[in-house]
Amino acid sequence: MDKKKILVADDDSGILEAITLILEDEGYEIAATSDGDSIAGLCEQVHPDLLLLDIWLGGWNGKDICRCLKSMQATRDVPIIIFSANRDTAIIAREAGANDFIEKPFDMHDLIIKVQQYL
Amino acid sequence: MVTYLTTQEIAERLQVHVSTVRRWVRTKKLKGTPYGRSGYRIYEKDFLLFLCKRPEPPAPQRTHQEAEAEENQWRNLINFLPSNIWTAAADGTMTYVSDAWCEYTGMAPAEALGWGYIQTVHPDDQKRTEERWLEATQQGTGFEVIIRWRRYDGIYRWFLLQARPVKDKHGQVSSWVGAIIDINAQKLAEETVRESEERFHALADDIPIFIWMSDKEGNTTYVNRSLLEYMGMSSLAEFSGKAWEKLAEPQDLQRIYELHNHAIKTGKTYTLEAPFLNPQNDEIYKYFLLQAMPRYLASGEFFGFIGTAVDINNLKKTQEELATHTAFLRSVIESTPDLILMKDRSGTFVLANQATTRVFGKPPAEIIGHDDRAFFPPAVARTLMETDQRVMTTGKNEVIEETLPTAEGERTYLTTKSPLRNAEHEVIGLVLISRDITERKDLEQQKDDFMGVVSHELKTPVTSLKAFAQVLQNRFVKAGDERSAEILVKMDLQINKLTTLIRDLLDVTKLEAGKFQYKENSFFFEDLLREIIEETQRTTTKHQILLQASGTHQVFGDRERIGQVLINLLTNAIKYSPHAEHILVTSLAETQQMLVRVQDFGIGIPEDKHAHLFERFYRVSGDTFDTIPGLGLGLYISAEIIKRHGGKIWVESEASKGSTFCFTLPLKPADAENLPGG
């Protein structure tokens, strides 16, 4: 069985690397980017099963990305989990069409459970 | 009084025959109109006139009987008159008193005659009467003396005793005739006038106002005692026209003369404030208010002035002090950079200091007399004026933060609106003091933004740190290196503490900015409690957290925030009871609320510190406390969260015995109803 593919986007390379390690250890295939502009292209290329996006990506607003992805044919039905250091942005994420929200810093186990819910 | 008398009645009174009376009528000595068959009706007045000029000459040769009859006639006439008539001998012994005399005194003629009558004269008047009588006897003249005369009932009234001497052919006083005339009413009226005058004089003398009167030539005719004493004089005689020159300065005197002359022409009272020199101490001036009224006779002729001078020195001083005080206040009001405004009840500005120009773009003079509508857009003005009305209605101060469009752009003000009250404590307007806090607000915003950014920036490395630690721990576990994995668990706990500190900082920033958000839902309180206890239990191996709770109860609120409160209280309990083994948590559903108690058996908190525990950045000081780290934010945030949920938070504690932190949370209404007894 093919590995489930997760696209992770965060402008902090440390976080990006840590999440990649956690999820690869759990047996997922990870595509990671810290460039908001490349998300749409990557999605068409990789066809991820789940998107993990930081609410604020350098130059990009996670909310806008969310809206954009939900309107694209390739990513319309792909679940999106937003993470943010500000719990108050959970409402914004939900409004933008995200399926779930994780507050930073998060517990590894909580992240794995959330991911498993959607895959 | 006029009455009719018949001829018969007259004959009886005069003891003459009826035919004599008829003869008098026929000879027109007595005026009468026929009455009945043989009578005449005569006015009593005419009858008396007739008697007075009775023409009948005495018969040259009168018989003794005739003389007696005539005397009887006179006596009858006298007795007929309602006057107190008397006659006396030359030495003053009474020889005759009229019926009216006897009737008034209640004394029989026999008693009165001789010296008896003297008893009817008031003892105090007897000597005077006798002296006057003696004097008159020697001079051979008549006399009058006012006496108090005793009535039959013992009451003395005022009478005028009149006496005329009857002289013999040698010119010696042979006897006296006289009358006693009632002057009581007149005397009483005189006394009333005299008393009233005395009262006026006493009043005018004692009153601390100078009173004076002058005649048409300008001579002073009266000055009261106060004025004399002020001048150091003892009588009016000393007080001449020159006295005024001693009192007033030449220019004031000139002014007084001018006003005087003007008043005489116009007939109007004049008033002047002027300093008077103290004639007894040349250096001291006192301010007086002068008033003078010209007086006129009924004919319209001017006959002088009546004037007063009131010492207004204290008033003047008070006025000057008030003016100084007002100027002082004015300079305070003007020198402050704060906006100070006063409005009347309708909202019209009645005072505005210079600082207000920055907002209104106009000088104070152009602000006063207008209301907010003249300076702000309608919606803004309406809001401002509504607040004004509320403050004036409730009579309570309000502190309002308001952002207003001003001449210098949009500015934020912290305004205190206070009701303005008069001496009767009635609200007559409003005082507004506004401080421009735009810069402060900007700084606060910058601080909030900065704190937000700092917290966010701190969270990013902590997030990856935590994630790396956990990945590593996971890998050690998989590799069977349990010891290394345990070290990473400890590292994770420290990262969690760091996370809590960062979150607390961020929360305080949000609370201060009023941006602390709550996500409220219904949840089962006991479930949350068990979850948090389980989670916290994992962080300590030393303490055992014991829970006493029964049933499940729904609470409406932010589950995560209430969880944050529980975590805070539990971690505090662990932190401050380093040598204890248990933490006791009890949860009790009361009628309308949940009561939660978190009890530790640690170092406790002295009672005087209890009140400050829930303040921002407060940390209990002392040797033991100083070794335990913390920012002093946890309890502040917890208290804010509990208060926001309509609950209460408090502490019960005793030093070295431990602390119990308690809080309540309102139950969801439906759940409250289902409680036994709820």
**Helix/strand number for chain A, H first, E second:** 5, 7
C-alpha torsion B64→B66→B67→B73, nearest 10: 150
What's CA B346's distance to the chain center, in Å? 25
CB atoms within 10 A of CB B442: 11
CB contact under 8 A, B499 and A105: yes
Please, are residues B125 and B154 in contact by the beta-carbon 8 Å criterion? no
Inter-chain contacts counted by CB atoms under 8 A, chains A and B = 66
Would you call A95 an interface residue with chain B, using a CB distance cutoff of 8 Å?
no
pLDDT at B27: 80
Output the pTM of the full model.
0.49
CA atoms within 13 A on the CB side of B497: 13
Residue-averaged pLDDT of chain B: 86
Minimum-distance CB partner of A108 among B467, B506, B560: B467
Residue in this structure with the two tokens 């006192």, named with its chain if needed:
B286
- The pLDDT, as a whole number, for residue B671 is 55
Q: Tell me if B470 and A88 make a contact (CB, 8 A cut-off).
A: no
Tell me, what's the pLDDT at B94? 87
pLDDT at residue A1 in the model: 59
Which chain B residue lies closest to A25 (C-alpha atoms)? Answer: B471
Using pLDDT thresholds of 50, 70 and 90, give the confidence band for residue B497: confident
Measured CA to CA in angstroms, residue B280 lies from B248, B288, B367 at distances of 13, 16, 53
* φ and ψ at residue B428, rounded to 5 degrees: -115, 0
pLDDT exceeds 80 at position B672: no
pLDDT at B53 over 70: no
Range of the domain at A86: 5-118
**B229-249 residue pLDDT tens:** 888 888 888 887 677 777 888
Cis peptide before B363 (omega within 30 of 0): no
Cα(B666)–Cα(B449) distance, integer angstroms: 34
Q: Which residues in chain A touch residue B560, judged by CB atoms under 8 angstroms apart?
A: 87
From the CA of A96, how many Å to the nearest CA of chain B? 18
Alpha carbon of B656: minimum distance to chain A alpha carbons (Å):
37
pLDDT in tens, A24-76: 999 999 999 988 788 888 888 888 999 998 877 655 666 777 778 788 877 88
Name which of A4-8, A69-73, B580-584 the model is least confident about. Answer: A69-73
pLDDT in tens, B325-348: 999 988 989 988 899 999 999 999
- B573: tokens are 């309990």
Contacts of B462 in chain A (CB under 8 A): 105
Please indicate whether, in this complex, the C-beta atoms of A108 and B499 are within 8 angstroms of each other.
no
Containing B415, the helix (H) or strand (E) segment is strand B409-421
Q: Which of A25, A86, A104 lies closest to B474 in CB terms?
A: A25
Interface of chain B toward chain A, CB-CB under 8 angstroms: 455-456, 459-468, 470-471, 474-475, 495, 499, 506, 510, 515, 517, 519, 560
Nearest residue in chain B measured CA to CA from A21: B471
CA-wise closest residue to A54 among B366, B351, B460: B460
In sequence order, the β-bridge partners of residue B308 are B211, B291
Q: What is the ipTM of this complex?
A: 0.88
| Contact assessment for residue B136 and residue B165, using Cβ atoms and an 8 Å cutoff | yes
- The four Cα atoms A100, A101, A105, A109 give a dihedral, to 10 degrees, of -20
List the single best residue of B465, B471, B558 to mutate versus A (max A Cβ within 10 A): B471
Residues of B in contact with A12 (CB under 8 A): 460, 463-464
pLDDT of residue B57: 46
Q: Which residue has the higher pLDDT, B166 or B66?
A: B166
User: How far apart (Å, rounded) are the C-alpha atoms in residues A67 and A60?
Assistant: 12
Which tens digit of pLDDT belongs to each residue from B96-142? 888 888 888 988 888 888 888 888 999 999 888 888 888 888 888 88
The beta-carbon neighbor of B517 closest among A21, A88, A106 is: A88
pLDDT tens string B534-575 = 989 988 889 999 999 988 999 999 998 999 999 999 999 998
- List the CATH number of the domain containing A61: 3.40.50.2300
| pLDDT value at residue B70 | 74
SS3 A55: coil
pLDDT tens-digit map of A85-114: 877 777 777 887 889 989 888 999 999 999
Q: Across the strands, what pairs with B188?
A: none
Structure tokens, B619: 């940390």
DSSP state of B118: G
- B517: which chain A residues are within 8 Å (Cβ-Cβ)? 88, 91
Answer yes or no: are the C-beta atoms of B357 and B363 closer than 8 Å.
Answer: yes
Give Cα B86 to chain centroid, integer Å. Answer: 69
Q: What end-to-end distance do the CA atoms of chain B give, in Å? A: 105
Compute the average pLDDT of residues B352-370: 91
Q: What is the mean pLDDT of residues B265-273?
A: 89
- Using one digit for the tens of pLDDT, what is the confidence trace for B299-316? 888 889 999 988 888 888
Number of domains present in the structure of chain A: 1
Q: Are A15 and B459 within 8 A, CB to CB? A: no
CA gap B64, B70 in Å, rounded: 10
Radius of gyration of chain A (CA): 13
All residues of chain A having their beta carbon less than 8 Å from the beta carbon of residue B468 are 14, 18, 21
pLDDT > 70? residue B665: yes
Dihedral (Cα; B279, B285, B287, B291), 10-degree rounding: 30
For residue B541, give Cα distances in angstroms to A107, B485, B537, B538.
21, 17, 7, 7
Tell me B297's DSSP state: -
Gap between the Cα atoms of B91 and B133, Å rounded: 9
User: Chain B contacts of A20, Cβ < 8 Å?
Assistant: none
Tell me, what's the pLDDT at B426?
92
SS3 B593: strand
Check CB contact of A105 with chain B, cutoff 8 Å: yes
Distance CA B82, CA B99 (A): 8
Average of per-residue pLDDT across B470-479: 92
**CA triplet B503, B509, B514: central angle to 5 degrees?**
120
pLDDT above 50 for B293: yes
pLDDT-based confidence at B678, cuts 50/70/90?
A: very low
